[in-house]
Structure 1
């Protein structure tokens, strides 16, 4: 089922994307939803279906510095939602250059979150028919919606997403544990404020990775 779901989304992306200029596609979902794996698999299918070059990026390459991210407190859900990402840099370095009047010279990441240092990279020119496939949390917020030609939201319950995501870092798997409050409640703020499942082109249930299926278009 997963393969057929990915194929359906890939074909939909190609049908909804303009052919004479770059297209921008977002893959959204809570932490641990499986966005990166889904996007990588989707990119491979798009490359097999089309001659259009596929550019992969993640919003995680556009974090704010640590002092900015934690300005409302290290455990603040509001801070996690409001202060994590530098959307101005995301637009200037990646999204605007791929817009109608853009020069198609892009940078796919500007900040190393783990090292808490900026990344210096020269812009790279991309073809006029490129497909940008970007994954990350909070991608359906109002400031970004105008950029997406189409989008995916991976729906995963916190009881599944938190253990799945935290297993990578050997962190507590309980969604209700105090150590997870910043992230779970921050994402609940996003879900309540933005309602991304109502804005996404496709909503995919990714609770069971092998049985990922479209639940809403």
Structure 2
């Protein structure tokens, strides 16, 4: 499956870095898949830029302005997609300077301090994030890979991953259901990201992902 997807991506030359978004609900396995895809693409000889949403959060007072338990707040306010578009995706797109921000916000310090680098003209950008097909970003991707996973499996994976930081497994399950997965429910209903993606991966079992559509 990785061979097929990486071959499709590596053969493209849009005249600027190829911007590939890895989409899916919380706990769908985006980070693991993106890391594996980036490694596979690097083996083809193309320059690969591996970016993720951790460097593009809003500052705390914006992230939690609708409440720390608000699903709508997580969906609308967690990430600074305006900065991602202006400082990263547009410079990497058609006519862009290729000088892009690979990191804008530090979660630990809550400081905003963009860090920049310059991309090779034929680089492939692999960026994973939840909600990356929202209206303000949709036209900034050259390819979008949507990882499809059942809600209950994604919730359990996410809760187990973050149990230590969320007060234990039972508490993490409650938080995931009420805030994170509920936010993903909003995203699925409002944006229909599975249909809009160019590639769909059945990631119900991350050890055996299946190519559902390309």
**Do they superpose with TM above 0.5?**
yes
Do the aligned residues in 2 keep the contact of 1:54 with 1:131 (CA within 8 Å)? yes
Number of aligned pairs? 210
Do the aligned residues in 1 keep the contact of 2:56 with 2:104 (CA within 8 Å)? yes
Following TM superposition, by how much is the alpha carbon of 1:198 offset from its aligned partner in structure 2, in angstroms?
A: 0.4
Do the aligned residues in 2 keep the contact of 1:23 with 1:149 (CA within 8 Å)? yes
1:14 pairs with one of 10, 13, 28: 10
Do the aligned residues in 1 keep the contact of 2:101 with 2:114 (CA within 8 Å)? no
Supply the distance in 1 between the matched residues of 2:113 and 2:31 (Cα, whole angstroms).
21
Task: Tell me, yes or no, if structure 1 residue 141 matches structure 2 residue 134.
Answer: yes
- Partner SS state of residue 143, structure 1: coil
Supply the distance in 2 between the matched residues of 1:19 and 1:186 (Cα, whole angstroms).
33
Query: Unaligned 5+ residue runs, structure 1?
Result: none
Task: Tell me, yes or no, if structure 1 residue 155 matches structure 2 residue 151.
Answer: no
Do the aligned residues in 2 keep the contact of 1:162 with 1:173 (CA within 8 Å)? no
- Partner SS state of residue 28, structure 1: strand
Supply the distance in 2 between the matched residues of 1:178 and 1:41 (Cα, whole angstroms).
28
Provide the residue aligned with 1:27 in structure 2: 22
- Partner SS state of residue 108, structure 1: strand
Supply the distance in 2 between the matched residues of 1:10 and 1:139 (Cα, whole angstroms).
20
Task: Tell me, yes or no, if structure 1 residue 86 matches structure 2 residue 80.
Answer: yes
The 1:45–1:138 alpha-carbon spacing in structure 2 relative to 1, beyond 3 Å, is: same
Compute the RMSD of aligned alpha carbons.
1.8
**1:53-92 alignment to 2 at 5 Å?**
53-92=47-86
Do the aligned residues in 2 keep the contact of 1:26 with 1:151 (CA within 8 Å)? yes
2:97 pairs with one of 84, 95, 103: 103
Query: Unaligned 5+ residue runs, structure 2?
Result: none
Provide the residue aligned with 1:167 in structure 2: 160
Following TM superposition, by how much is the alpha carbon of 1:118 offset from its aligned partner in structure 2, in angstroms?
A: 2.2
Task: Tell me, yes or no, if structure 1 residue 189 matches structure 2 residue 186.
Answer: yes
Supply the distance in 2 between the matched residues of 1:157 and 1:99 (Cα, whole angstroms).
33
